[in-house]
A = this chain, B = another copy of it.
Amino acid sequence: MTTENKGKGTSRRSFLTGAAAMGAGAVTATVAKGAGPDPLIAEKQAWAMATGDGVDATPYGLPIRFESDVVRRNVEWLTADTISSINFTPIHALDGTITPQGCAFERHHSGAIELAKEDYRLMINGLVDTPLVFSYADLERFPRVTRTYFCECAANTGMEWAGAQLNGAQFTHGMIHNMEYTGVTLRTLLEEAGLGAAGDLADKWVYVEGADASSNGRSIPMEKALDDVLVAFKANGEALRKEHGYPVRLVVPGWEGNMWVKWLRRIEVTAQAIESREETSKYTDTLANGVSRKWTWVMDAKSVITSPSPQAPITHGHGPLVITGLAWSGRGAITGVDISLDGGKNWQKARLAADGQDKALTRFYLDINWQGEDMLLQSRAHDSTGYVQPSKAQLREVRGLNSIYHNNCIQTWHVYPTGEAENVEVS
């Protein structure tokens, strides 16, 4: 252990002097306090002196027990019942872009149902040449595609219209996940049924509904239905989870999550929108003058810093700090993300982990030297249409304060000298 103690002491000094070389600027404060004996004594290193679990221990593995706090969470006061409610992805604790299914948010209107593949049927009816019903096995026989997309609930960040309400990125921005889907394009299935009977497709719609009690019906313009919508049966390589619509859900890239119908049972080609509950009394946006916008399907460009954030405070003292977060746009790819440390007065470019992909999450990083100063952390996304994520003030000016859905404004975290962070508003 002598070597390790020696190394450790050296490490801390080197980390400080070396920080400039790693591109994070000069460091003038200590990284960690104390240089006493290392607590990592031999008695604690049981792992190096005994054997571990065999390869038969966990046929399907779960996270290690130390990560038991990285889970979906719901907010009890938000809804009357958990079967018509939401939980939130622990984005403050994740990195990269893929969301594991096990911690990807859920939203149900009548609970997550259990529907076996053998019992599954998908009907296509309405203005089609031949009404069809597909079994699950039928769907597996059509040409397949695999594509990665984000899914964001229209209500994500909805509590923030009125001010800073929920203290944590998981709760303000966690109604989002990003998975690699495999399935059949909706275009393939519609063409199988034949669209001749629909006549001019420019003004036609599809109405999609699920097999759960709520049915959650939504109207989708034919143009989108024939563009990039998927009838998906796998996410991140494996079967959809029960709570994400097993065995089959709709994937409507870039559009609000409510349209991504789970336990998909029927697709009707119609001459007009159905104007269901889900697209009239819900999932519309009431403006300051009382008029409601409807058909606000696209999720506009948005971003959030996931760490540091209220649930992911700085615990390591002054010096090098990694700022990281997520950006996305329902209209295309993310082309850039700016970060402000001072509530929007000054901005610098974040580093994207990879080129932005169409309608998928982009991870960004910024490496700074933090000297314990107060920070008003913000991120601002740019997308491939030239759109720039608005401030809360800009969004309120156009949309008022009555809305629930489609809040894509810039988020602010106040980081205190202690390293703790809080959800705040800046003017």
Interface residues of A (CB under 8 A from B): 3-4, 6-8, 10-11, 13-15, 18, 21-24, 31-32, 40, 44-45, 47-64, 66-67, 70-74, 81-83, 85-87, 93-104, 106-108, 110-117, 119, 121, 123, 125, 130-135, 137-138, 140-147, 180-182, 188, 191-194, 211-213, 215, 234, 236-239, 241-243, 246, 263, 265, 315-316, 319-322, 324, 351, 353-354, 363, 365, 367
- Cβ of A88 to closest chain B Cβ, rounded Å: 9
Copies of this chain present in the complex amount to 2
Distance A14 CA – B197 CA, assembled complex (angstroms)? 15
13 contacts between A and B (CB under 8 A): A7-B125, A11-B138, A14-B192, A22-B142, A31-B138, A47-B211, A47-B212, A52-B108, A53-B243, A60-B102, A100-B238, A138-B316, A144-B324
Contact A72 B97 (CB under 8 A): no
Query: Given A100-B238, A237-B100 in contact, is the A131-B7 Cβ separation under 8 Å?
Result: yes
Distance A146 CA – B67 CA, assembled complex (angstroms)? 20
Distance A54 CA – B28 CA, assembled complex (angstroms)? 50
A71 neighbours in B (Cβ, 8 Å)? 59-60
- The chain B residue with its CB closest to the CB of A214 is B51
- The chain B residue with its CB closest to the CB of A319 is B141
Distance A92 CA – B133 CA, assembled complex (angstroms)? 27
- Cβ of A308 to closest chain B Cβ, rounded Å: 11
- Cβ of A51 to closest chain B Cβ, rounded Å: 4
Distance A323 CA – B50 CA, assembled complex (angstroms)? 45
Contact A316 B64 (CB under 8 A): no
Contact B97 A322 (CB under 8 A): no
- Cβ of A406 to closest chain B Cβ, rounded Å: 22
A320 neighbours in B (Cβ, 8 Å)? 141-142
Which A-B residue pairs are the 7 nearest by beta carbons? A54-B82, A52-B111, A59-B71, A47-B113, A7-B133, A11-B132, A52-B113
- The chain B residue with its CB closest to the CB of A55 is B87
Contact B96 A367 (CB under 8 A): no
A101 neighbours in B (Cβ, 8 Å)? 61, 100
A215 neighbours in B (Cβ, 8 Å)? 48
- Cβ of A358 to closest chain B Cβ, rounded Å: 11
A239 neighbours in B (Cβ, 8 Å)? 63-64, 67, 70
Query: Given A4-B121, A8-B133, A237-B97 in contact, is the A61-B316 Cβ separation under 8 Å?
Result: no
Contact A112 B53 (CB under 8 A): yes
A351 neighbours in B (Cβ, 8 Å)? 143
Contact A47 B354 (CB under 8 A): no
Contact A143 B55 (CB under 8 A): no
Distance A73 CA – B56 CA, assembled complex (angstroms)? 7
A87 neighbours in B (Cβ, 8 Å)? 55-56, 59
Distance A97 CA – B111 CA, assembled complex (angstroms)? 30
A7 neighbours in B (Cβ, 8 Å)? 123, 125, 131-133
- The chain B residue with its CB closest to the CB of A353 is B146
Contact B63 A241 (CB under 8 A): yes
Query: Given A7-B123, A144-B95, A146-B363 in contact, is the A63-B238 Cβ separation under 8 Å?
Result: yes
Query: Given A21-B192, A132-B7, A182-B95 in contact, is the A55-B70 Cβ separation under 8 Å?
Result: no
A322 neighbours in B (Cβ, 8 Å)? 140-144
Contact B52 A143 (CB under 8 A): no
- Cβ of A117 to closest chain B Cβ, rounded Å: 7
A365 neighbours in B (Cβ, 8 Å)? 143-144
- Cβ of A86 to closest chain B Cβ, rounded Å: 6
A73 neighbours in B (Cβ, 8 Å)? 59
Distance A47 CA – B320 CA, assembled complex (angstroms)? 53
Partner of A54, one of B44, B57, B83, B95: B83
Partner of A146, one of B64, B95, B316: B95
Query: Given A52-B113, A121-B8, A316-B137 in contact, is the A60-B60 Cβ separation under 8 Å?
Result: no
